[in-house]
């Protein structure tokens, strides 16, 4: 079968999921004919993502968040206004996507939570089956817990998620925990996280430094203040600041790295604990390596509040309003059930290939049925002639 990916470029986690998925697809003998990634001036698509695929990677302009002047909090109103103004640009993106689908004729399109993927299904219906993947789709599961208060942010999160899944053949919610019950709809599935092979092959050790990852560079000042206030604590941090060098050391106990996937995994496997904004994928990687996490949700990003709550529930670590090493130290000294939580997570993650095989089987069965129906229709038309 031929596959085409559509990837949301706002979060590194969606890129990681696409990289793992293409390995599973190729292992089964299927073809990935193209990758389309949503891009913006706000973020640069990392070279490691582009180099991970044996096929062309196409960039299209896609909706993204607007942050405040400090480049920390998400401004919901400004985000809506900016993206409404850019509808003509997104229309061009949809036409480009349509051209790629017409050119490659994929059997299946996998959308990693890009909103244009859902809009594309509405504007350009095609014979290709669409599968959508992301931890956000778990929000429809009866065991999911929403962060409070919800209000307009919760409503917008759910609307955005439904748009991305428009016309989907299967909706896959990625989860840190194995659910006790399935979705009520056969079209909705729960999978474990998609963990990279490089994470699985890493050898975790108990290091003497805290690892920090900040999705918005504005949090760098908060990390700087933390290092200044606690000079006895060593901190290594990853950020996405295009104007800074590969390594930047503003204090003797603080070292910033530009985003680098292999170096990040090396540091994650060697750190004492992991402090981050509440993105899904790196929390899952930390859990696989048995590293406890402090999660500080990005202000104004409701789904990250849900992520932090969800991860806390599984025993991954603790949620906080700001990076606090003393709070983390206290948590590390008083944690319970660490080993069993780690093993339970790994058992759940190791079921990924089973779930993938089931999905491929359902796709192939549907493809055979549709081919048979088309053949019967052509045969009846010939008989009429």
Residue 92's pLDDT is 95
Residue 196's pLDDT is 94
Calculate the average pLDDT of the chain. 89
**pLDDT tier at 317, thresholds 50, 70, 90:** very high
Domains in the chain: boundaries: 2-194+351-382, 198-339
- DSSP element (H, E) containing 152: helix 151-164
| Mean pLDDT within 17-27 | 95
φ/ψ region of 68 (left if φ > 0, alpha if ψ in -120 to 50, else beta) reads: beta
CATH number of 198-339: 3.40.50.2000
| Res 73 pLDDT > 70 | no
φ/ψ region of 50 (left if φ > 0, alpha if ψ in -120 to 50, else beta) reads: alpha
Residue 42's pLDDT is 67
| Res 338 pLDDT > 70 | no
- CA distances, 55 to each of 3, 34, 39, 49, 58 (Å): 11, 5, 18, 12, 10
Whether 364 and 1 have beta carbons less than 8 Å apart is answered as: yes
**pLDDT tier at 233, thresholds 50, 70, 90:** very high
Answering whether pTM is above 0.85, one says yes
| pLDDT per residue as tens digits for the range 273-290 | 999 988 899 999 999 999
**pLDDT tier at 70, thresholds 50, 70, 90:** low
| pLDDT per residue as tens digits for the range 186-217 | 899 999 999 999 999 999 999 999 999 987 77
Residue 244's pLDDT is 87
Q: Do domains 2-194+351-382 and 198-339 have the same CATH topology?
A: yes
Find out if CATH 3.40.50.2000 is the number for domain 2-194+351-382.
yes
d(CA 324, CA 175): 27
Token pair of 100, please?
């790629």
**pLDDT tier at 307, thresholds 50, 70, 90:** very high
**pLDDT tier at 378, thresholds 50, 70, 90:** low
């Amino acid at each position: 079968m031929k596959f085409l990916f559509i990837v949301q470029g706002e979060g590194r986690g969606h890129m990681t999921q696409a990289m793992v998925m293409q390995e599973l697809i190729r292992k089964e003998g299927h073809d990935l004919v193209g990758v389309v990634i949503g891009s913006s001036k706000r973020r640069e698509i990392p070279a490691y993502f582009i180099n991970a695929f044996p096929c062309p990677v196409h960039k299209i302009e896609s909706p993204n968040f607007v942050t405040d002047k400090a480049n920390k909090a998400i401004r919901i109103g400004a985000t809506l206004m900016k993206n409404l103004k850019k509808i003509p640009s997104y229309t061009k993106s949809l036409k480009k996507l349509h051209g790629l689908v017409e050119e490659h004729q994929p059997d299946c399109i996998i959308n990693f939570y890009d909103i244009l993927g859902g809009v594309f299904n509405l504007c350009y219906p095609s014979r290709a089956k669409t599968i959508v993947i992301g931890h956000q789709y778990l929000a429809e599961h009866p065991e999911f817990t929403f962060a409070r208060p919800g209000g307009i942010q919760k409503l917008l999160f759910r609307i955005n998620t439904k748009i991305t899944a428009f016309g989907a053949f299967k909706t896959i919610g990625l989860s840190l925990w194995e659910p006790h019950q399935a979705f009520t709809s056969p079209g909705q599935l729960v999978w474990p996280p998609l963990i990279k092979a490089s994470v699985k092959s890493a050898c975790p050790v108990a290091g003497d430094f805290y690892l920090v990852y900040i999705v918005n560079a504005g949090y760098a000042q908060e990390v700087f203040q933390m290092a200044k206030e606690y000079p006895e604590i060593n901190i290594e941090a990853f950020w996405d600041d295009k104007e800074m060098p590969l390594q930047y050391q503003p204090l003797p106990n603080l070292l910033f790295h530009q985003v680098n996937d292999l170096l990040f995994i090396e540091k994650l496997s060697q750190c004492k604990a992991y402090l981050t904004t509440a993105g899904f994928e790196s929390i899952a990687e930390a859990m696989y390596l048995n590293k406890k996490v402090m999660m500080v949700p990005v202000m104004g990003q409701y789904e990250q509040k849900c992520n932090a709550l969800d991860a806390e529930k599984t025993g991954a670590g603790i949620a906080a309003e700001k990076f606090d090493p003393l709070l983390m130290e206290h948590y590390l000294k008083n944690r319970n059930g660490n080993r069993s939580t780690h093993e339970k997570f790994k058992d759940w993650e190791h079921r990924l290939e089973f779930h993938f095989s089931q999905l491929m089987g359902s796709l192939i069965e549907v493809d055979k049925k549709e081919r048979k129906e088309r053949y019967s229709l052509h045969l009846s038309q010939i008989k009429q002639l």
